[in-house]
């Protein structure tokens, strides 16, 4: 459903003819591939060798990862089974990047299109549900759901309590878990909003996690509190004192 909604939004955009949407499944859920992964001819990125007893040379690839290229500049029904040949160049950071293939052949064909397609679907069909029953909201949380909830606990401060991580989730059912995650995120956003920085600033300040001067000022602050505080601090942001008080009161 997410892919459908994103595609339809882009398809309705006036900029559709200038768009290339790339969807890759980096975490595709498994390690199996019916095609053997390459084990020869793959360069090590930096010639480092792993520790004993395996001494891994980092000279083989993992399983293939599916991807979609969506654009009115790509012919209908185009299927690629692999990238174009690699182009060695000194501009890459390591040997593996220089060796890796590129997918520019999707657009830069022997005979490139001179105009975008006009037959791209405006709406996609409804995705088929993978299960034949509705969600049982009274069912116990799965392992994955428990991990998501434990991650949400780092937003509202529950990760500092004795019940974290296992007792916090062991008796919860799906409905309770969903409500907990939603409330934790709303609390996190509420504190961020009260701190006063603009929305764009909040997104950019994620990079401040490693601010050394902040670590020196707050040596005993937990990682999660440090993460939250980093949202409000940029060059001694005036909202710092307010934000610190809010985080400590969580």
Q: For 55, what's the count of Cα atoms within 13 Å in the CB-facing half-sphere? A: 1
3-class secondary structure, 173: strand
Main-chain dihedrals φ then ψ at residue 87, nearest 5 degrees: -125, 100
What is the C-alpha separation between 154 and 149, in angstroms, rounded? Answer: 9
Residue 60, pLDDT score? 81
What is the model's pTM?
Answer: 0.52
Place of tokens 């499944």: 25
Residue 243, pLDDT score? 42
Q: Tell me: cis bond preceding 165? Omega within 30 of 0 counts.
A: yes
Residue 118, pLDDT score? 93
Residues of the chain with pLDDT under 50: 202-250
Cβ pair 146, 169 in contact under 8 A: yes
Residue 128, pLDDT score? 85
Residue 32, pLDDT score? 72
Give 129: exposed, middle or buried? Use CB within 10 Å, 0-12, 13-18, 19+: exposed
Residue 116, pLDDT score? 93
Q: Which two tokens stand for residue 30?
A: 């498994």
What is the C-alpha separation between 250 and 247, in angstroms, rounded? Answer: 5
Main-chain dihedrals φ then ψ at residue 79, nearest 5 degrees: -130, 130
H-run or E-run covering 211: none
Q: How many CB atoms lie within 10 A of CB 158?
A: 19
Q: Which two tokens stand for residue 49?
A: 């060798």
Place of tokens 């882009």: 10
Characterise 134 by phi-psi region: left (phi > 0), alpha (psi -120 to 50), beta (else).
beta
Residue 150, pLDDT score? 92
pLDDT in tens, 32-64: 777 787 778 888 888 889 999 989 888 888 777
């Amino acid at each position: 459903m997410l892919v459908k909604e994103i595609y339809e939004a882009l398809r309705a955009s006036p900029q559709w003819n200038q768009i290339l949407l790339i969807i890759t499944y980096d975490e595709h859920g498994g390690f199996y591939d019916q095609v053997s992964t390459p084990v020869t001819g793959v360069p090590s990125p930096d010639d480092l060798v792993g520790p004993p007893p395996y001494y891994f040379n980092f000279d083989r690839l993992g399983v293939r990862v599916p991807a979609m290229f969506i654009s009115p500049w790509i012919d209908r029904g185009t299927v690629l089974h692999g990238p174009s040949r690699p182009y060695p160049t000194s501009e890459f950071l390591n040997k593996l990047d220089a060796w890796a293939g590129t997918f520019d052949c999707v657009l830069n064909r022997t005979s490139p299109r001179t105009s975008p397609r006009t037959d791209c679907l405006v709406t996609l069909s409804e995705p088929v549900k993978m299960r034949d029953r509705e969600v049982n909201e009274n069912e116990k949380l799965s392992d994955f759901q428990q991990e998501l909830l434990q991650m949400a606990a780092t937003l509202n401060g529950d990760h500092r309590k004795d019940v974290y991580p296992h007792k916090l989730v062991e008796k919860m059912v799906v409905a309770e878990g969903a409500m907990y995650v939603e409330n934790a995120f709303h609390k996190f956003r509420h504190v961020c909003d009260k701190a006063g920085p603009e929305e764009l600033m909040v997104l950019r300040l994620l990079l401040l996690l490693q601010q050394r001067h902040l670590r020196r000022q707050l040596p005993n602050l937990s990682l999660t509190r440090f993460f939250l505080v980093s949202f409000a601090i940029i060059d001694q942001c005036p909202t710092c004192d307010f934000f610190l008080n809010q985080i400590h009161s969580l």
